[in-house]
Each structure stands twice: as structure tokens, then as C-alpha cells.
Amino acid sequence: MSSELMDALHALAQEKKIDEAYLLESLESSLAKSYKSILGLENDARVTIDRETGKIYVFEMVPVGEPDEETGEYAEFAARDVTPNNVSRIAAANVKKHLTEILRSHERQSLYLEFIKRKGELISGQVLQTTSDFTILKIRDGVEAELPHFDTAKNPNEANYRPFNERYRHNNRIKAVIVDVRDPNDAETLTRGKNTRPLIVVSRTHPELIERLFEIEVPEIEEGIVEIVAIAREQGARSKVSVKSNEPSLDPVGACVGPKGSRVRMVVEELRNERVDVIAWSNNLATYVGNALSPAKVSSVTIDRETNTAHVVVSDDQLSLAIGKEGQNARLAARLTGMRIDIKPASFVGGDLFASLISEEEEGADDLADERCAYVSENGIRCRNHARPGSRFCGIHEQSEAN
């Protein structure tokens, strides 16, 4: 048994590419627990496998001296040889079980070390199983991932990473982003009833999914010529993506949209027809806010830095487009820019609407004071907008003054 054990361990270590010393130490630790139970030992057991002969020795670790007064633990132990006569037979009955556990633990630890470095990466998987709470994907042979879609009201400690409009069938292939890798040593997070959960957790709702899809479809993004600055997403419905170019001559929006919309169309198809708006980023905050409200056309944007608010004026026929269905367009624009956006129709602008507004233009309000609109309200508040070229008034007040 001894020589056969060493030959088998040596062959197994080579096949699984596991360090032989680690395998032997893990086996000794596992067998020690079994021998303590089998022999009915009062104290912990220690097992030693002779590296040359493969012979197994069992020792009971008997405490020596007095325990520590504070911790109650012993500092020294004496090893008492309790090796049974039938040690090989007992080992033969337990080695297979212990080796299976050791190999499974080693594989899970290897997967953890591999995929913890791949968080945020796009993966493609085949649907193996779908329940009301989760979907299991096969990433490659022997490697599975979980896409959770729990009812978070009933399961507050779980997550829902599936868009509301998506359902998956067996053998479907879907792309997802790795958002978490569970610690294989944390038994609590890895247990689902009597089953063990996959280590890898993926998402179809994370904004990084859109970024990774654009990286595949747009070579300029992969090369670093075009950058995705920010993404605002309402999964399954609509997203806004702001992009900028590191080459002045290249249109970043056109690069992402592609000829006849071919590039963005591929992203939309992978997102199951979720609408994706690509807009140009600008370091001028007023311009950026105006772009973010696309496809609506804005008349003017005034930034109030004190309250982090963008006051936007649009023509009456653009108001519903700027706000969007149930406020979706304005809401996504606010998330994209990080601003609170206040939208007003041009017909409502006037009087003391901006009486309490303290704002500044994006590029030096004080230096451009002479270029401001000359309109002054009844309360003595001067309009903060720029005057139109060749006029003393802005576009809003020029017509009213003419009348």
C-alpha cells in the first residue's frame, strides 16, 4: 500500500500539475481528522507520510504543562505514537475521498486566482440551466458562472443582474461581464441549499457591458484613439454613452456609430434592442449638457456651479423630446453629466424666472460682461445670456425688445 500510495500521488501531482509537497501536506491534514475520529482520540491527531517509503504514522498531540491563564491554550505538545496495526487499510478506505476533496479545493482556488484578475472582463457563455432566481452559464469545460436574477424584495442579500426584458433558454449563447468572484474559502457565500454555487458571478445590467461591447466593435476604442468617458444606463430600455477623440481630426461619435450605423447596431442587437445614444463629450460643461440631452436641440444652457444645476431652455416643440418618456432622457443626461438638469420651454422664460439664479458662463463670465444680453427684468436682474452677434440682446429677448 505504501509504495502504491506514493506512486499514485506522484502520478496525480504530475497529471493535475499540483505541487507534490502541497498534495502530501493536504492529505496528511485531511487524514489526521479521520484518524482522530476513527481512533477516538481525546486530543488532535497528526499524520506523517514518509516521503521515501510512503509509510503512514499517526500521532496524538498530548498537551504538556499548564494552559495559558488568559487563553486557556497549551503552548507545548508531546507527540504520542498511536499508529494502528491496520493503518494502511484505514488509509486506503479514506485516501480517495480526501484526495477528491483536495483536488476540488485546489481547482477552485486556481479558478479564483485566475478570474479575480479578470473582473470587468467580457465573457461569452452557453446557458446550462435557468431557474426563476439564477442562470448558470458554461464558460469553458469545467468552468461555470452564475448570472443571478433574484427578486431582491424577497432576497435582499442577493442581486438581480438580468435586464427586465431578457429571458434565456437552454444552449443560448450570451455575453456578460464578470462582476464578482466568490472566495472559495467562504463556505457561507458558496452554499445554496445542498449545492455549491459557482465562483464566478456575471452581469448583463452593468454599464461596463456596453463599454466592452463597443471595444469589440470599434477598433479606435481598442487602440485608444477614442475613449468612452461615461455611461448612463437604464438596463433593457435605454443608455447614453459619451465619447471623446484623442485625435482632433477624428469624429468620435461617427467612429462609434459606424458606416450606416453598423457598429452601434451590433451593440444594440447584443443588448436585445436596448436603445443606445452616443454623444460627444466636451470639457465645456454647458456644451456637454446640451449634447447629453440629444436628440433634443437646446436653445441655451446656463450653469449654476453653486447648486450644481444646469438650467436648460428649449423651444416648445423640443420640450417633450428633451424630457423624454417618463423623464428618461433628462434623467440619463443628468447621470451622464453629474449635473442636476432643470429644463424650461422658451415660452416660460422671462420675468423673474432667473431672479434668484447665481451662475457663471463656462468660459469667464466676468471677462465677457460687455457681451451679455442688455435685458433687465422688472426686479432689476440682468439676463445672463450672451447677446446675439450684431445685437444687444440674446435670442430670447431680442424679439420682445423689437416689439
Q: Record the cell numbers describing residue 164, joined without a space.
A: 427586465
Q: Rounded CA gap, 363 and 335, in Å?
A: 23
Residues 201 and 224 in one domain: no
Grid cell 440682446 is found at 393
Range of the domain at 14: 2-116
How many CB atoms within 10 Å of residue 261? Answer: 11
Say if residues 216 and 223 touch (Cβ distance below 8 Å). Answer: no
Domain termination site, one of 54, 82, 116: 116
The string of DSSP codes covering 246-306 is SSTTS-HHHHHH-GGGHHHHHHHHHTTS-EEEEEE--SSHHHHHHHHTTTSPEEEEEEETT
CB 30 within 8 A of CB 101: yes
Residue numbers of the chain with a pLDDT score lower than 50 = 1, 351-369
Are 225 and 153 part of one and the same domain?
no
Q: What is the CATH number of the domain that holds 320?
A: 3.30.300.20
The model's pLDDT over 239-289, given as tens digits with 9 standing for 90+, comes to 999 999 999 899 999 999 999 999 999 999 999 999 999 999 999 999 999
Q: Are 59 and 51 in contact (CB under 8 A)?
A: no
- Let me know whether 289 and 274 are in one domain: no
Residues 129 and 100 grouped into a single domain:
no
Tell me: do 288 and 403 sit in the same domain.
yes
**Cβ atoms of 293 and 312 closer than 8 Å:** yes
* 0.85 surpassed by pTM: no
Query: Of 256, 250, 248, whose CA–CA distance to 229 is shortest?
Result: 256
Residue 95, CA distances (Å) to 3, 9, 23, 28, 30 in order: 14, 10, 12, 10, 9
Number of domains in the chain: 4
pLDDT of res. 10: 82
